[in-house]
């Protein structure tokens, strides 16, 4: 009986093995594993290249900023400055190879590779400040008007005044509106047009005229005048 029972058990095992095997290779092959889906990268909206590619160009002279909103209406003044009304939250990118710096009064200066002024940007109303995002990008949080120019000084011509040489500086309308960007641009362009003007006394006279005589037709700066402190400069109406 034990031999017969063992024989029956062995035969049953062989039947089970035969049922689980596929000697003819008829079973369907297992499908290959699906590769993991690769997420599509999202473009960084603060990337200056993205802004320049998709935004609205705003040009003054040889310098072009780009505002992150496409299709903005841009007007150009007779002096070559450009204006655009923009919504809040826009990003503004400098041209490739240049930087844009948000200054402490909310204005901004566009500079070249050695840090020299090439253009300036202000907002209207004045309290709408430009905020630094990166070396090439600033942000404007509030809806405002942008005023952009590459011209702070229309002309700087040497002549003679009552005491000797005098430099007649004609500022642009943008520079007359004042601000740190205008102050930087005025001095940079005065020195570029009249290198002999590069003295502390002439710079002090220029800054005094910017603050105290914005509507005067020309700002007359004389190198022979003494270099005095701010209080004396103001007391003498910018001509000590």
What does the mean pLDDT of the chain come to?
87
CA atoms lying within 13 Å on the CB side of residue 85: 1
CB 185 within 8 A of CB 178: no
How many whole angstroms separate alpha carbon 40 and alpha carbon 179? 44
- What pTM does this model have? 0.80
User: Do 126 and 174 belong together in one domain?
Assistant: no
User: Do 110 and 132 belong together in one domain?
Assistant: yes
State mean pLDDT over 52-70: 97
Could you tell me if residue 20 is inside a domain? no
State mean pLDDT over 97-117: 97
User: Do 162 and 139 belong together in one domain?
Assistant: no
Write down the pLDDT at residue 227. Answer: 87
Could you tell me if residue 38 is inside a domain? no
Could you tell me if residue 25 is inside a domain? no
Write down the pLDDT at residue 10. Answer: 44
Strand partners, 59: 64
Could you tell me if residue 71 is inside a domain? yes
User: Do 54 and 120 belong together in one domain?
Assistant: yes
Write down the pLDDT at residue 4. Answer: 46
Write down the pLDDT at residue 2. Answer: 46
Of 120, 149, 178, which residue constitutes the final position of a domain? 149
**Interval 116-169: pLDDT, tens:** 999 999 998 877 899 999 999 999 999 999 999 999 999 999 999 887 999 999
Of 97, 121, 149, which residue constitutes the final position of a domain? 149
Structural domain including 55 reads 48-149
């Amino acid at each position: 009986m034990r031999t017969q029972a063992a024989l029956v058990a062995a035969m049953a095992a062989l039947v089970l093995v035969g049922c689980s095997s596929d000697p003819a290779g008829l079973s369907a092959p297992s499908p290959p594993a699906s590769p993991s889906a690769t997420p599509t990268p999202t473009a960084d909206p603060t990337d200056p290249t993205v802004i320049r590619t998709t935004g609205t160009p705003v040009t003054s002279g040889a310098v072009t900023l780009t505002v992150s909103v496409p299709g903005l209406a841009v007007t150009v003044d007779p002096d070559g400055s450009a204006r655009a009304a923009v919504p809040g939250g826009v990003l503004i990118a400098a041209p490739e190879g240049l930087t844009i710096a948000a200054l402490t009064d909310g204005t901004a200066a566009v500079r070249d590779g050695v840090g020299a002024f090439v253009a300036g940007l202000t907002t209207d109303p004045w309290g709408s400040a430009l905020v630094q995002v990166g070396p090439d990008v600033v942000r404007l949080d509030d809806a405002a008007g942008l005023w952009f120019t590459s011209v702070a000084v229309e002309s700087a011509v040497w002549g003679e005044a009552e005491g000797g040489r005098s430099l007649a500086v004609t500022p642009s309308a943008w520079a007359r509106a004042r601000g740190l960007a205008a102050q930087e641009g005025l001095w940079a362009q005065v020195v570029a047009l009249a290198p002999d003007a590069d003295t502390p006394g002439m710079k002090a006279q220029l800054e005094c005229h910017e603050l105290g005589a914005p509507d005067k037709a020309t700002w007359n700066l004389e190198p022979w005048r003494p270099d005095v402190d701010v209080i004396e400069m103001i007391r003498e109406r910018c001509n000590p």
